[in-house]
Chain A
Amino acid sequence: EAQVTQNPRYLITVTGKKLTVTCSQNMNHEYMSWYRQDPGLGLRQIYYSMNVEVTDKGDVPEGYKVSRKEKRNFPLILESPSPNQTSLYFCASRQGTYNEQFFGPGTRLTVL
């Protein structure tokens, strides 16, 4: 089944404790991205990657890192999480410019 998977789905952590949210897609898509979704603010792009070893900042990259060492994986790293990073996070992938974007099921992160 073609899909985007994220882990963990739910995470409660404390300020300053490094964490990684994994994202993997099995569709051989070139383009992957991370979003956060907050009430009243909608979906905002954090980082995106157009291919292996090619990443760039989205609209809200502060406090986040990403890497794209393999085509299928695009982990999101929070080196020192803070409470304002409490949010619902989505990973997404798509093949080309005009193609449908597929989203993962989301990761609900709470930083205390």
Chain B
Amino acid sequence: RKEVEQDPGPFNVPEGATVAFNCTYSNSASQSFFWYRQDCRKEPKLLMSVYSSGNEDGRFTAQLNRASQYISLLIRDSKLSDSATYLCVVKTQAGTALIFGKGTTLSVSS
């Protein structure tokens, strides 16, 4: 089983749609969870951290289910500018590497 798995997509949605991405991780000792966004041929950038209680940042909501080892990202009212690849990222132990999923591609059209 891969360490971090994501549905690669692509997800093609119209503007204004709500879209959800899922991610599963294999290591139950994972401590920290993030969603990064990567535009085509650009560097990844932190979108948001994921907290145990769930967290929201504007149109974006992230949730964590430790029992099921599952992370989600919900985007409401999609904008054209949301088109990108979304990377699920997990860190297992203090001071060590971030494990990246392969990413889910979102394309928002008008």
Contact = CB atoms under 8 A, between A and B. Distances in A.
B57 interface: no
Contacts, number: 43
A43 B87 contact: yes
Contacts of A97: 32, 91, 94-95
Bin chain B's interface residue count: 10 to 19
Bin chain A's interface residue count: 20 to 34
Contacts of B102: 40-42
Contacts of A35: 100
Interface of A: 31, 33, 35, 40-45, 48, 50, 58-59, 88, 90, 97-98, 100-101, 103-106
Interface of B: 32, 41-46, 49, 87, 91, 94-95, 97-98, 100-103
11 contacts: A33-B97, A40-B102, A44-B100, A45-B98, A48-B97, A97-B32, A98-B49, A104-B43, A105-B43, A106-B41, A106-B43
